Amino acid sequence: MRNGFLFVFLFATAAFAQSPKPYTPPKLPWGDPDLQGEWPAFANIPMQRPANFGTRAFLTDEEFAQRAKQAQKQSESDSEEFAPSDGKVNVTINPPGYWQEHGKPDHQASLVVDPPDGRIPALTPEGQAFVKNLRGGLGPGSHFPTKVDSPEDFDDYSRCITRGLVSSMLPTLYNFGNQIMQAPGFVVIRNEMIHETRVIPTDGRPHVGTGLRTYLGDSRGHWEGNTLVVETTNFNTRTGTGGAYFSDEARVTERFTRTGPEDLSYDLTVNDPKTWTKPWTLHMPYHMDKSYVIYEYACHEGNYMMIDALTGARDLEKQGKPTKVDRQQ
């Protein structure tokens, strides 16, 4: 655990070696460093590094330029109102492509920065078994379930329950708005999707009892210099990241360090020896966007998918067909 921090610290400073001395954020009236603002997860960085990158943590300029061109083309089509009228329409089962916000490319090769290969460490046998044995051996609910008998066949996000602590902070197709607000004794992190808010006390109080388990866990914050450190425990073993689930002993440590007027360095370390063979850390460079407005993401209230999927499955069964949901290639 100790070395995890050391590594992250080295990584963060290396990334910004060029700026001469660390940035000192302004202070709030009651003395805390001011981290407030809209910090959407715009940096479009994949979670894990392709194997061939090895321990190279950054794109070469050439690789970056290529991604930038790609992103430029993508954002043009994102801003289209309708499918192109010149007949060359790629008909897919998804909503129109332009309903997305693909964010901007970044030099960082992957969000995972520790282990050095930029990949999430292997699961422990117990971690694997836990996932496999979920729902009596059916495994976890999925975005593309093998059968559609009941809502539990879908993943928590399709069921509009939650995206979990980790995913809610990271880049995704759209609605990756995050806002930090502060009041004396509290830091609040607002995730746009799915309208979840972590109110993090910074007065040193203990965690709630171990009998109290939740999807977003129980967070406690304290300041280390100008860095906000947030420890979260009490996860309810029905949430996690990367297809695996936190055990009841999982501990997530987040570090928020403002590195410039519009830049916030975010490091998240997962420490769950029952699930992953090693602790691992991801790094996300947030960039402030005062213009970003978090809109209400009332997911469950409009979840027609669930009704359509279930009634559809019942119809398929009447026709003797499987209800497995295949991904359109």
Partner 1 sequence: MKSLFGLSFLALSVTLLCGQTATYKPPRMADGHPNLNGIWEAMNTANWNLLDHPASAGPMWELGAIAAVPAGQGVVEGKVIPYKPEAAAKQKENFKNRRTDDPEAKCYMPGIPRANYMPYPFQIVQTNRDILFVYEYATSNRLINMGKPQEAPSDTWMGTNNGRWEGDTLVIDVTGLNGLAWLDRAGDFASDKVHIVERFTRTGADHLTYTATIEDPSVFTKTWTISMPLYRKVEKDAQLLEFKCTEFAEELLYGKYKKAK
The DSSP H or E segment spanning 307 is helix 304-318
Subset of 233-272 contacting partner 1 (CB under 8 A): 236
By CB under 8 A, tell whether 204 contacts partner 1.
Answer: yes
Beta strand pairing call for 263-271 and 218-224 = unpaired
Integer Cα distance of 182 and 228 in angstroms: 11
Integer Cα distance of 11 and 16 in angstroms: 9
Pick 2 or 290: Cβ nearer partner 1? 2
Pick 28 or 71: Cβ nearer partner 1? 28
By CB under 8 A, tell whether 203 contacts partner 1.
Answer: yes
Question: What minimum distance in Å lies between the beta carbon of 153 and partner 1?
Answer: 18
Question: What minimum distance in Å lies between the beta carbon of 32 and partner 1?
Answer: 7
Pick 80 or 248: Cβ nearer partner 1? 248
Pick 5 or 98: Cβ nearer partner 1? 5
Taking Cα atoms as reference points, which of 66, 82, 112 lies closest to residue 279? 112
For 105, the token pair is 């490319």
Question: What minimum distance in Å lies between the beta carbon of 223 and partner 1?
Answer: 5
DSSP assignment letter at 225: T
Could you give the string, one character per residue 161-190, with x where binding to partner 1 holds by CB under 8 A and - elsewhere? -----------------------xx-----
For 134, the token pair is 């979920």
Integer Cα distance of 224 and 221 in angstroms: 10
Question: What minimum distance in Å lies between the beta carbon of 6 and partner 1?
Answer: 15
Integer Cα distance of 82 and 320 in angstroms: 38
| Continuous H helices in 82-217 | 125-137, 164-169
Pick 41 or 299: Cβ nearer partner 1? 299
Subset of 206-225 contacting partner 1 (CB under 8 A): 208-214, 222-225
By CB under 8 A, tell whether 24 contacts partner 1.
Answer: no
Asked if 102 and 74 count as a contact pair (C-beta separation under 8 A), the reply is yes
Pick 205 or 290: Cβ nearer partner 1? 205
Pick 100 or 236: Cβ nearer partner 1? 236
CA 141, 47, 192, 9 torsion: positive or negative? positive
Integer Cα distance of 182 and 230 in angstroms: 14
Subset of 30-89 contacting partner 1 (CB under 8 A): 30-32
Question: What minimum distance in Å lies between the beta carbon of 189 and partner 1?
Answer: 19
By CB under 8 A, tell whether 274 contacts partner 1.
Answer: no
Contacts of 269 (CB under 8 A, 6+ apart): 1, 4, 5, 8, 114, 252, 253, 254, 279, 280, 281
Region of 187 (left: φ > 0; alpha: ψ -120 to 50; beta: rest) is beta
Question: What minimum distance in Å lies between the beta carbon of 211 and partner 1?
Answer: 4
Question: What minimum distance in Å lies between the beta carbon of 27 and partner 1?
Answer: 8
The DSSP H or E segment spanning 191 is strand 186-191
User: Which region among 41-49, 128-136, 152-160, 201-209 touches partner 1 (by CB under 8 A)?
Assistant: 201-209
Pick 122 or 208: Cβ nearer partner 1? 208
Which stretches of the chain bind partner 1, using CB under 8 A? 30-32, 184-185, 203-204, 208-214, 222-225, 236
